[in-house]
Amino acid sequence: MLIVHTESATLGGEAYRLIEETRYVNENTSHRAVIVGPAGSDFEEVALRSGVPFIGFHFRQFDYHPFSFIEAIKLLRKISPHIVHTHHSSDAWVFGIASRLLGIPVVRGRHISLPFKRSFFKNIVYTHLADAFTVSCSSIKKEMLEIGIAKEEEIFITPAGVNLERFNLEKVDRFYLRNELGLEKSDFLIGTACFLRSWKGVDTLMESFKILMERFKDNKFHLVIAGKGTDRLRDTDIYRRYSKNIHILGHRDDVEHVIGGLNIFVLASKKSEGVPQVIPQAMALKVPCIGTAIGGIPDVIKDGATGWLIRPDAPDELADKIWYVYNLSSEDLNSIIERAYYMIHDEYTVKRTVEKYFMAYELAMLKKKGGSKK
């Protein structure tokens, strides 16, 4: 089977997971997969550097530009895929329509938990341009069912899976980050890793760190922030005030060494999240996690069982929770860490996600053959 993944978004979490999943299919199955994404983008550069087949496509600002459809049809005729798996808004329209005209089955992926628009036209991309769906968390599936744009058997929950070869306890040096930053073993590292977006809650995390430093006067606390765009956080008042204890790392290709060196991983997102891949990655490295009760985060962080949940945009609550985890006994902390670690190995691997993709592909192809009808 030849699968074409289409993704019109630029480099971000979606792109990284798609690169990982495409590589897994090509290296571990008898099938082949290729990504069609923005030509000349960082996404293309990273994919090709990773050895993943990538075809550049010119996505226009206007999703319904006739030239886009013509070019998509030409490209699909040339590739002749068995399935097209769309992942973002623009590519879902362009390649959804092109695939329909060519009779190619379509699976529509949705990775964010923003509310669906209550518009017949806007939802045509789901109701008429897809045969099956992959969604990154249970809340997306729930809303799709509530507004009636898909049937239960058509929706497959496919959170981002962890590459357990890379995020491997035996391969990641716990002290790599401390040595790089010149910190002591006794220092307590709180951190996050993400593309800096307004909804990622990095401002909440920094405010909570300020509260911790003011409240407890403990210079053993350090805040580590990694990810593309985070360099501009150096211009904030909080960074300038606590620059000796806040470490802005920018983009890192060795993020496993960053996450693996933390005492607590925090994702304080305010909206839009599916299941962010960094949380399962941290859990795979036995790093305790705190996250907001947003989107798909509660799918992976079971409050008090596999981690801790807080309300979004609540720096005081986050500071209190960090302090709580800091003071947990080793026995209680290890119980949470171990439960999360085994959950990831059972439920959140790239292999598991790809297997569910193929279940969606089989359903989509069956429907195109007339074996099932909406």
Query: pLDDT tens across 21-31, in order?
Result: 999 999 999 99
Classified as helix, coil or strand, 9 is coil
Helix locations, the chain, DSSP H: 13-28, 42-49, 66-79, 89-102, 124-127, 138-146, 176-181, 202-216, 237-241, 255-259, 278-284, 297-300, 315-326, 330-347, 350-368
319: its two tokens: 């500071």
Q: Bridge partners of 331?
A: none
pTM of the predicted model, to two decimals? 0.92
- The span from the CA of 222 to the CA of 240, in Å, is 14
For the chain, report the end-to-end CA distance as a whole number of angstroms. 24
pLDDT at 373: 43
Residue 281 CA to residue 284 CA, distance in Å, equals 5
Homologous superfamily of 176-347: Glycogen Phosphorylase B; (3.40.50.2000)
Q: Are 36 and 5 in contact (CB under 8 A)?
A: yes
Residue ranges of the chain with per-residue pLDDT less than 70: 371-374
Architecture (CATH level 2) of domain 2-161+350-368: 3-Layer(aba) Sandwich (3.40)
Q: How far is CA 9 from CA 39, 205, 276, 279, 307, in A?
A: 11, 26, 16, 22, 30
Q: List every span in the chain annotated with CATH 3.40.50.2000.
A: 2-161+350-368, 176-347
Are β-strands 83-86 and 106-110 bridged in parallel, bridged antiparallel, or unpaired? parallel
pLDDT of amino acid 337: 98
Compute the distance between CA of residue 108 and CA of residue 102 in angstroms, rounded to an integer: 17
Helices and strands of the chain, counted as H and E runs: 15, 13
- What letter would DSSP give residue 307? B
Distance CA 29, CA 45 (A): 24
What is residue 115's predicted lDDT score, i.e. its pLDDT? 84
